[in-house]
Structure formats: structure tokens, C-alpha cells
Structure 1
Amino acid sequence: MPAQKPAEPQPDAFGSPLGRYFAATRPAFLSVTLVACLIGLASAWRSGLAPDPATAVVTVLFALVAHAAGNVINDYHDAMSGADDANSGRLFPFTGGSRFIQNGVLGLRQTALLGYGLLAAVVPAGLWLSWQAGPGLVLIGLAGLVLGWAYSAPPLKLVSRGLGELVIAACWLLVVVGTDYVQRGAFDALPFVAGLSYALLVANLLFINQFPDHAGDAAAGKRTLVVLLGPQVAKWGYLLIAILAYGWLVAMVGNDTLPQKTAAAAMTLVLSFSAGRDLLEYASEPAELVPAIRRTILATNLHGLILAGALAFG
């Protein structure tokens, strides 16, 4: 008997406006940002820097707020473009957006105010952290804000130009680097090297989610990589990104740039390659991709947690 699909949000499902706005940020999917912050903190710890509790907490909190803002802003622009309205093949809650606008839980204006309000709230926190850590954080923060906006907002709409994976990898690498910078007060190669494999796996999560959405995206003119290449060609991209991620980690361990114990994070390739195998089989039958998406989420988060633990305690 097939598993029952989770119910999409409805206006009467929320007892308070606060609960409605919180749920609109898709909090269940913010874990990838929390893990990226842990890698950044572990990178600084590896270099002999004891974390400062106040700046560490503020960094994690507002990285999560920035991610939440990106989720809401993406929902708003996907509604404006018609991509989410046209998305009949979505696999809720993984793809097709939060469905808050489409189901009347929030209006377009409310969604825009929430998303851009959250993004604005990150600015004072970033300035305070820059005052504490150093001016380099301003560059990291500006890059993150620009990429977060340009990902889905016109006129750039980078995800609609086949550049979504590149933007996502860059954003999550910036989270790792920025978290390390707050503790270190300077740039260092270690967070870049340590964070890249994780950032690529986060990009792969976006990539596999585009397969159920590709028909709606194509109808709305949202030219993601899957739309540009077609599912049967694009499906090989998942394995390519995974090979790049795990290959980078193994290479960095092999040349002693990363400690030997971080190689344990490569064990998650079993999950990634298993998901990739399913994608090769079901690229044109996206309704069958839920197990592969779940394994991709697990592989990404577990990879990052093992990496952070090995950096901090290995």
C-alpha cells in the first residue's frame, strides 16, 4: 500500500499568525545551514581557537534567519512567475515550495514582507558581528545577501538561468567560511577546503528536487539545469556533483590538507550513490523519487556532521 502523502498547509491549520509565519520559512529544511555553521565552528576550533559563545550563537541564529528569508523570497518569486502554480508534479514537502500562497495561507504581499523583512533583519546582526570579528565579514555578508536575492529575484533570477546549483554551493560555502571568520577574525584556507564537499552536497539536494518540478518550471519559463538539459541528460549531473564532492574530500585528506579522520565523512557516499541510482532509473517518473530525496537529505546532513566532528575532535 503506497505511503500517504503529507497534507499541504491550509489556512485553518494554524492557531496564531506567529505560527503561520514561522511555518512559512520551512524550518524543517534549515538543518543544512545549522550543519554548515557547525563545520565553520569546528574549523576554527581545529586551529586552536576556543569559540566565543556570544558571537557563535548570533552567527548560527542569523545564518538560520538568512536561510529562512531565502526560502520565503523564493516562494514569493516562484508564485509571481507562475512556477509553483503550474507545478502539478510536486512532491510535498520536498519540492514545489511551501504552498502557503497557492493554498491561501499567506498572500503575496504578506510573503514578500516576511521574506524581505527577514533578510533586512540579518543586516544589523552582520554589522555587529563585523565589528566584533573584522571588516572581512562585511564582504562575506554582502556576497551572501546578493546571492540570496539574485537566486530567484528578477532581473538576475540565476536559478532560472541554470546557475542555481552554483549559487547554492557558493552560499553554503560562505556560511562555513563566515562562521569560521567570526571566530578567527581573519580569512584562512581551512574552512574553504573543509566546507566545499558539504556545499556541493547541498547543491545536489537542490538538483534532485528539480526533477519533480521540471514540468512546472518549464511551463513558467524557469530554465533550471533539469529544464535546460532534459531529465534524461540531467540525471547524470547528480552523480557528477557527488563524485566531485567525495573526490575533493578524499584528495584533501590524501595530501594532508584535512586530518585523516575527516575521511569518515566519505562513508555517506553510500547514501548519495544509492539516491543517484534511483534517479537514473526514475528521472522521468519523479513521483518515485521520494526515497532518493530523503537519502540525499540524510547524506548531506550526516556528511556535514561527521566532517564537523572529525575536525573538532579528530
Structure 2
Amino acid sequence: MATLAEWVEGARPRTLPTAISPVLVGTGAAIGAGVVAPGAALLALVVAVALVIGVNFANDYSDGIRGTDDDRVGPQRLVGSRAASPSLVKYAAFGCFGVAAVAGLVLTALSGQWWLIAVGAVCIVGAWYYTGGARPYGYAGLGEVAVFVFFGPVAVLGTMLTQAGTVDAEAVAGAVGVGLLCCAVLVANNLRDIPGDRVVGKRTLAVRLGERGTRTLYLLLAAVPFVLAVGASFDRIGALLALLAIPVAVRPVRTVLGGAEGPALIPVLRDTGLLLLAWSVLTGVGLALG
């Protein structure tokens, strides 16, 4: 039976910046638009965190039963390491999705944006079929597309919409930036796993691009959000605060472009998450200040 520490590791806490960051930027944009709604922001955070933990457990389950985690370079997986039964991990995933659904329903009711129920349902289905089902889209190189859409425009603009009832161009720039940096987190993970994914037939975008192309893609994903911050500053000068996160980008970018492989890439996942969080905190504050 898995220990509490193993369950926490299975939840992959290093990926939580992908849940927190969209809410920070969306809430900052809402405050900049003149609306302060801490209750809605908290509910949005519950939805985001529950979905991210849920998709992590779902990936653990689906990859585990396929055997793609049997020879893993990164952090331990619950099913692949035989620390927990597949059924228990699947129930944990569904439990998290249930929490996200309940919090999302409450948030929808408070905001009056009832059409977001359909968006939430698509998010849960997308979370499961990333590695689940007969034809998981994460195995076909479409993971980055889904991560960009769900963690960028959907999460950021959804957060602002449920608080302010509207979105603006600056929020869109923030949403694209968050989406790109969330993709960078996934690319860092998949770059590390290229050798093992090739063996098991997992055709991620990193496998399709190869190591050189993936390293270039990582650089672009890490750099473009800073360009977007400059663009957004023409309407909200506070967006320039995001540039203070540039030093946080140096170490992971240097490691990736320096040709690090295998275990040497594990810290890049952590550092990219920190970059995402730093950029989002600064952008959220900048948008709030106007």
C-alpha cells in the first residue's frame, strides 16, 4: 500500500503552478477591471488545483496499465511502481474531477455564466483522454495544444469572466503567456522522456520534433511571454512587472540549451514551474495595478 508521501508525490506537486498561475493572472485582470471577488477567485483555484491533481492521477493510471511507466526516468508513479493498485489511483482521479465539478458548478451559479458548465465538462473529458482511452491524444503529439487551450485561454479568461463578467485584450495576452509557459512545463517533461517514449510508441510532440527541435521549442515557449508582457504594457503599464521574472528563466533555459539529458533534466521541470509562477504573480499584480 502506498504511503502518504507516495500519494503526495503521485499528485506531482511540482505541476501545481500550472493550476495556480491561470487563477492569479485572471484575478489580477479582473481587479484591474475594477472587480474584487475573493470568493470566486478561491472557487476558481479549487477547480484548477483539483483538475491538475486529477489529470496527474489519471495519467498515472493510464500510463501505468499500459506499461509505459515501467522504466521511468522521472519521479515515481504509483501504478508503474506497484505502490498502489490501478483501481485506487483511478478512483483518486475521479474523486478530484468530482471536486472540480462541484466547485465549478457553484462558481457558475454565482457568476451566472451557465454556458461554462459545458466548458468544464470538456475540460474533464480532455483531462481523462490525454493518456486514457483507446486513442489518447497525448500519445499523438497533441498534448501541448490541449495544455495551451485549457491552462491558457480557458483557465485565465474563465477566471476573469466569472469575476468581472467580461474579458479584455490585456487578459488575453496574459492568457496566451500562461498557456505558453504551461506548455513549457510539459515540453520540459517530455524532453526528458524522449528515449523511453520512443521505445513504448508514445509519439509526443517532443518525440516527433526530436531533441534539437524540442530544445528550440522550449526556448520559444519561455521567451514569448515576456514579449507579450511588453505588448500588454501599452494599455496597462504594470504588465512590465513580468520582466522581473527574466532571471528565473536563465537556469532552465541554459540547462535545456546546454544539452542536458535524462535525470539532468529533472530540475528543469521544477525551475520551469517556478518561472511560470513568477511570471504569473508579477503579471497578475501588474494587471491589477493597471
What residue identity is the alignment partner of 1:289?
A: L
Q: 1:296 aligns with which of 269, 272, 279?
A: 272
Q: Does the 8 Å CA contact 1:86/1:219 hold for their aligned counterparts?
A: no
Q: Label 1:139 to 1:269 Cα distance change in 2 as closer, same or farther (>3 A).
A: farther
CA deviations 1:203-243 (Å, max 9, x no partner) are 10110111221122112211111211221332211112223
Q: Which runs of 5+ in 2 are unaligned?
A: none
Distance in 1 (CA, whole Å) between partners of 2:67 and 2:289 is: 48
What residue identity is the alignment partner of 1:41? T
* Amino acid corresponding to residue 239 of structure 2 in structure 1: T
Matches within 5 A, 1:57-72: 57-72=42-57
Q: 1:81 to 1:102 in 2, by over 3 A?
A: closer
Q: What is aligned with 2:121?
A: 142
The 3 A distance-change label for structure 1 pair 21 and 288 is closer
The residue number in structure 2 matching 1:26 is 12
CA drift at 1:12:
6.5
Whichever residue aligns with residue 108 of structure 2, its letter is S
Query: Structure 1 length normalisation: TM-score?
Result: 0.83
Percent of residue pairs identical: 25
Post-superposition offset of 1:38: 1.6
1:269 is the counterpart of 2:246: yes
Distance 1:295 1:26, change over 3 A: closer
**8 Å contact from structure 2 (residues 184, 218) kept in 1:** yes
Take 1:32 and 1:311, find their aligned partners in 2: how far apart are those partners? Answer: 19
Q: Deviations over 1:233-288 (max 9, x none)?
A: 322111122233222222232xx24x1121121232343354223212225x3332
Distance 1:296 1:60 in 2: 20
Secondary structure in structure 2 of the residue aligned to 1:152 = coil
Q: Is the 8 A contact 2:17 2:273 kept in 1?
A: no
Q: Separation in 1 of the partners of 2:225 and 2:14?
A: 24
CA-CA distance at 1:302 after TM superposition: 0.6
Q: In structure 2, do the counterparts of structure 1 residues 299 and 183 end up closer, same or farther at CA, with 3 Å as the change threshold?
A: same
1:154 is paired with a residue whose SS is coil
Give the whole-Å Cα distance in 2 for the aligned partners of 1:12 and 1:57: 30
Q: Deviations over 1:172-226 (max 9, x none)?
A: 1122112112112345444322221122111101101112211221122111112
Tell me if 1:159 matches 2:145: no
Residues 26/210 of structure 1: CA separation in 2 closer, same or farther (3 Å cut): same
Q: What TM-score does the superposition give when structure 2 sets the normalisation length?
A: 0.89
- Cα deviation for residue 107 of structure 1 reads 0.5
Q: 1:179 is aligned with what amino acid?
A: T
Larger fraction in helix: 2
Structure 1 gap ranges (5+): 1-10, 93-97
Of stretches 176-185 and 37-46 in structure 1, the one that deviates more from structure 2 is: 176-185
Contact 2:104–2:120 (8 Å) recurs in 1: yes
SS at match of 1:101: coil
